[in-house]
């Protein structure tokens, strides 16, 4: 199917004025198909002109334009061409559509626990035509009138509030103008909790088998939601414009969440089925606040075209951290952002696919999805944080309000945003925007000293020269105590710091100690060597986060020995007292070291040290439940002690809150499987005991992890020989678990097959799913030149765009691992 070109979108936007959609969906036609009847009313600026709508049906029954029939065979390659347009037009399309399993269209999922079906619309950037006939581009917004026919016992949720029900049909209130990719309908036997805040009706929906968990967690979700509304009403000065606010936690969702006005969809893993750490509660709160930010940035004011996707996501990311930190109990949100989100962004910005925050070429609609990455999200958020520091937070906020008020219910571009900021600040910020928003790359900050003279050296990637100003700070530490600090503005490659009185030489001299800017801090080897002794004593969690970030990025840059990271982890991790930082560091360390930056030969000993460190925290008498959970997860991910794992599987030696926790139990099962200490039959027995969605996915993962030729052959067939309608989540469970940290002798024969067979799945899977499988399944643990050679050979072939990008970036990371292993052994 052709992807909409930007040139086509611009031509169509100059021709067409969409006035309304009337959509009727019949969800009672069986397990595979649904009815879709659409009436579009639109104006045309040029009499007798031609244009097209997107339509990807299973079957078309009838089409009329201004009362005149159109041959249904005119629908080709996902487009219906319309000729002889008038000043006022009415297009009526009656079609049958197919449900999807890859999350790109009207997704239909079956809960294996009770066999019930759940449906939700997920149009993404280019699949709304699988649900209804439409002009599928972000700048052709229109009001929607929606009717849905569904079983009487089902809940049906749409963008507008429910108005009436008659003859099996539910009718919903007319929406304000929205873009096509925000349209959704969710339907199924959902359980619901309802409330109201500040005149806004609130609803939370989950599949029926999660009703008990929702009842336990609804108060927290509602509280965060209410705090978010109060925060945004105060910040924006514009009331929430979409009537009611429903949050629907749906199964098999490809993304974290989607900001459909009035009907936000979120992956249902956010309704916790086992005991959750504080970091997981923080993540859920941040996602809720993030999607709510979109009600203004993205929904109220929508980008003109996909090259300004950052106007949606960077703002939502920035405001989600700030709103969560200021308005909810999770005041450590920015620390978590520093430790997790920014490191994701730094990795994206040094990858071959790096791109500017704004103005990234998006020649077609599908290419927009490729840039939903760590640059659009955390780097963009960091740039906005810098802009607020650069022009002043009050001025920044004034500009934001002006921007929203000027373009509400319409569309805007980068230039519209810059105009609002310049008008509010009285400054020309074009140079700032050129350096920060329109030039890729991350600056590296290093310190040089000569007695009391301290200089911050700023280096910029050679291929992307820029003069990025940084409003930041620097601080000195000795035995964990801050002995000096100064604010600093970096405007050149060498900035001498004034007002920083060091006295005795510090153990740690740290630029960007409050993490206000976007830059990697490079510490010299002498300072690095002191970190195992110094880091455990530093009281400021933000500073600790910056240090951890320096170490983790130093692995990729080849400036930090993996052995030093392991030494620092053993010394500092057990005394970390901010739970999200505790979990983030454990997750990243175990994700980067074993079988990646550490050789296969060094991996078992490193895993033993990580597991022993986890045991120290787990057995600490004063540890909270959240800390013990994080520590137990670390032990399970790294321990080779089969006896201990078997005891934990049986519920022995665990705190009461974990003894019957299915999610934790599956982690133990997965680890035993990877050690070759769990047979397929036992895994299947546990799956029978836990028939939930999570049980099915985790059993697939555990079985895939068994280090035997037979199970790897079975898993590969599950991935590459799937039927015509596979579940994207089941495929993902297999892909993420296939290439382990130590079983290269078994998995090496599949490396070439990964590069040759995975791209062929494009005939069965949507672009987003295939892109994720290529990224998540990449054999980064087979750290050999032969893997690079196979990847480069594949890149010379014809690959789907998303797969190509995944291969390019993952191969770059693999080269980083190879360089590190060559340097440090």
For 90-145, how does the pLDDT look when each residue is reduced to its tens digit (9 = 90+)? 999 999 999 998 888 999 999 999 999 999 999 887 899 999 999 999 999 999 99
The whole-angstrom distance between residue 603's C-alpha and the CA centroid of its chain comes to: 29
CB 401 within 8 A of CB 173: no
Per-residue tokens: 532? 């195992």
Residue 212 lies in a domain: no
Torsion angles phi and psi, residue 81, rounded to 5: -85, 140
CA distance 706 to 700: 11
Domain of residue 510: give its range: 443-517
Residue 689 lies in a domain: no
Residues 164, 308 share a domain: no
Residue 327: which CATH number?
1.10.390.10
CA distance 25 to 44: 27
Question: Of 400, 416, 436, at which residue does a domain stop?
Answer: 436
Residues 616, 544 share a domain: yes
Closest CA to 478 of 525, 534, 522: 534
Residues 311, 377 share a domain: yes
What pLDDT sits at residue 24?
98
Closest CA to 800 of 752, 764, 751, 753: 764
Residues 120, 10 share a domain: yes
What pLDDT sits at residue 370?
75
Residues 471, 409 share a domain: no
Per-residue tokens: 814? 């693999």
- Which residues neighbour 657 within 8 Å (Cβ) at sequence distance 6 or greater? 275, 625, 629
Residues 22, 149 share a domain: yes
What would the DSSP string read from start to end of 103-151? Answer: SSEEEEEE-TTT--EEEEEE-TTT-GGGTS-B--STT--B-EEEEEE--
Residue 513 lies in a domain: yes
Question: Of 592, 623, 640, at which residue does a domain stop?
Answer: 640
Residues 178, 62 share a domain: yes
Active-site hit among 104, 252, 269, 291: 291
Q: Which residues of 655-679 are buried (b: 16+ CB within 10 A; e: fewer)?
A: eeebeebbbbbbbbbbbbbbbeebe
CA distance 492 to 20: 53
Quick one: residue 804, left, alpha or beta (phi over 0 = left, psi -120 to 50 = alpha)?
A: alpha
- Which residues neighbour 613 within 8 Å (Cβ) at sequence distance 6 or greater? 569, 570, 573, 574, 634
DSSP summary character for residue 480: T
pLDDT in tens, 772-810: 899 999 999 999 999 999 999 999 988 888 899 999 999
Is the full-model pTM beyond 0.85?
yes
What pLDDT sits at residue 723?
66
Q: Evaluate the CA torsion angle 640, 643, 645, 646 in order and state its sign.
A: positive
Domain count, the chain: 5
- The parts of the chain modelled with pLDDT lower than 50 are none
- Which residues neighbour 734 within 8 Å (Cβ) at sequence distance 6 or greater? 700, 701, 704, 715, 718, 719
The whole-angstrom distance between residue 644's C-alpha and the CA centroid of its chain comes to: 35
Residue 566 lies in a domain: yes
CB 253 within 8 A of CB 265: yes
What pLDDT sits at residue 619?
94
pLDDT in tens, 417-439: 999 999 999 999 999 999 999 99
Per-residue tokens: 730? 């089941």
Question: Of 484, 500, 517, at which residue does a domain stop?
Answer: 517
Residues 583, 531 share a domain: yes
CB 666 within 8 A of CB 694: yes
Provide the β-strand partners of residue 256.
none
What pLDDT sits at residue 724?
59
Residues 102, 61 share a domain: yes
Cα distances (Å, whole numbers) of residue 153 to 34, 149, 209: 18, 12, 15
Provide the β-strand partners of residue 706.
none
Residue 98: which CATH number?
2.60.40.1730
CA distance 599 to 609: 15
Residues 475, 460 share a domain: yes
Residues 476, 391 share a domain: no
CA distance 539 to 471: 23
What pLDDT sits at residue 503?
77
Residue 154 lies in a domain: yes
What pLDDT sits at residue 772?
85
Total length of the chain: 825
What pLDDT sits at residue 183?
97
Q: Is 764 exposed, middle or buried (0-12, 13-18, 19+ CB in 10 A)?
A: middle
Residue 230 lies in a domain: no
For residue 291, indicate whether it is catalytic: yes
Residue 675 lies in a domain: no
What pLDDT sits at residue 110?
94
Instruction: Tell me the angle at which helices 393-407 and 380-391 cross, rounded to the nearest 10 degrees.
Output: 120
Residue 462 lies in a domain: yes
What pLDDT sits at residue 608?
97
Strand order in the sheet with 117-122: 105-110, 117-122, 185-188, 155-158
Residues 534, 501 share a domain: no
């Amino acid at each position: 199917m052709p992807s909409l070109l930007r040139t086509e979108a611009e031509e169509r936007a100059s021709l067409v004025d969409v006035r309304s959609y009337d959509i009727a969906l019949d969800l009672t036609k069986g397990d595979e198909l649904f009815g879709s009847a659409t009436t579009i009313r639109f104006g045309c600026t040029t009499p007798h002109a031609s244009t097209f709508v997107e339509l990807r049906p299973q079957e078309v029954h009838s089409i009329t334009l201004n009362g005149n029939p159109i041959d249904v065979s005119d629908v080709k390659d996902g487009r219906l061409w319309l000729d002889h347009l008038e000043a006022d037009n009415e297009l009526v399309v009656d079609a049958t559509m197919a449900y999807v399993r890859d999350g790109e269209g009207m997704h239909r999922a079956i809960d294996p626990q009770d066999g019930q079906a759940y449906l939700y619309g997920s149009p993404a950037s280019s699949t709304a035509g699988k649900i209804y006939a439409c002009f599928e581009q972000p700048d052709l917004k229109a009001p929607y009138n929606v009717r849905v026919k569904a079983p009487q016992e089902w809940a049906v949720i749409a963008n507008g509030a429910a108005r009436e029900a008659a003859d099996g049909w539910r009718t919903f209130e007319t929406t304000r103008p929205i873009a096509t990719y925000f349209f959704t309908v969710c339907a199924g036997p959902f359980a619901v909790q309802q409330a109201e805040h500040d005149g806004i009706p609130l609803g939370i929906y989950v599949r029926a088998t999660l009703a008990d968990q929702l009842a336990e967690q609804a108060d927290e979700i509602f509280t965060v939601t209410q705090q978010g509304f109060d925060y945004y009403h105060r910040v924006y000065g514009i009331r929430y414009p979409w009537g009611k606010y429903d949050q629907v936690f749906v199964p098999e969702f490809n993304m974290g969440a989607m900001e459909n006005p009035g009907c936000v969809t979120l992956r249902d893993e956010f309704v916790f089925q086992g005991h959750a750490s504080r970091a997981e509660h923080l993540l859920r709160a941040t996602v809720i606040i993030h999607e709510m930010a979109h009600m203004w940035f993205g929904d109220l004011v929508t980008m003109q075209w996909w090259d300004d996707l950052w106007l949606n996501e960077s703002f939502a990311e920035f405001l989600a951290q700030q709103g969560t930190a200021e308005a909810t109990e999770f005041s450590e949100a920015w620390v978590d952002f520093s430790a997790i989100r920014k490191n994701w962004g730094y990795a994206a910005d040094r990858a071959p696919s790096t791109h500017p925050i704004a103005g990234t070429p998006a020649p077609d609609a599908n290419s927009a999805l490729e840039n939903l990455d760590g640059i659009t999200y955390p780097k963009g958020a960091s740039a906005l944080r810098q802009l607020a520091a650069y022009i002043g937070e009050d001025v920044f906020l004034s500009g934001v309000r002006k921007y929203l008020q000027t373009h509400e219910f319409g569309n805007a571009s980068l230039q519209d945003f810059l105009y609002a900021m310049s008008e509010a600040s009285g400054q020309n910020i074009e140079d700032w925007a050129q350096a920060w928003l329109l030039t890729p790359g991350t600056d590296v900050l290093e310190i040089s000293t000569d007695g009391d003279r301290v200089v911050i050296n700023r280096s910029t990637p050679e291929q992307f020269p820029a003069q990025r100003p940084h409003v930041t700070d620097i601080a000195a530490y000795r035995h964990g105590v801050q002995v000096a600090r100064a604010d600093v503005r970096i405007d050149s490659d060498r900035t001498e710091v004034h007002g920083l009185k060091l006295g005795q030489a510090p153990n740690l001299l740290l630029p960007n100690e409050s993490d206000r800017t976007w830059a990697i801090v490079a510490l010299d080897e002498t300072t690095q060597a002191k970190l195992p002794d110094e880091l455990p004593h530093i009281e400021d969690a933000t500073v600790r986060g910056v240090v951890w970030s320096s170490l983790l990025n130093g692995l990729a840059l080849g400036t930090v020995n993996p052995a030093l990271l392991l030494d620092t982890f053993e010394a500092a991790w057990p005394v970390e007292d901010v739970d999200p930082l505790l979990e983030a560091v454990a997750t990243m360390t175990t994700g980067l070291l074993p079988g990646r930056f550490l050789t296969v030969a060094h991996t078992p000993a490193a895993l033993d040290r990580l597991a022993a460190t986890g045991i120290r925290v787990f057995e600490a008498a004063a540890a909270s439940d959240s800390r013990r959970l994080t520590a137990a997860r670390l032990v399970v991910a790294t321990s080779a002690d089969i006896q201990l794992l078997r005891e934990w599987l049986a519920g022995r030696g665990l705190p009461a809150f974990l003894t019957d926790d299915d999610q934790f139990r599956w982690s133990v099962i997965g680890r035993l499987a990877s050690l070759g200490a769990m047979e397929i039959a036992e895994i299947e027995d546990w799956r029978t005991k836990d028939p939930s969605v999570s049980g099915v996915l985790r059993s697939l993962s555990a079985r895939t992890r068994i280090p035997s030729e037979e199970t790897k052959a079975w898993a590969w067939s599950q991935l590459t020989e799937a039927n015509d309608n596979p579940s994207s989540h089941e495929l993902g469970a297999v892909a993420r678990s296939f290439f382990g940290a130590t079983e290269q002798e078994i998995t090496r024969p599949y490396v070439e097959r990964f590069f040759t067979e995975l791209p062929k799945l494009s005939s069965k899977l949507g672009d987003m799913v295939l892109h994720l499988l290529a990224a998540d399944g990449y054999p980064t643990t087979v750290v050999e030149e032969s893997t690079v050679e196979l990847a480069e050979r594949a890149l010379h072939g014809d690959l789907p765009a998303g797969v190509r990008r995944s291969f390019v970036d993952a191969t770059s990371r693999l080269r980083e691992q190879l360089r590190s292993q060559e340097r440090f052994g």
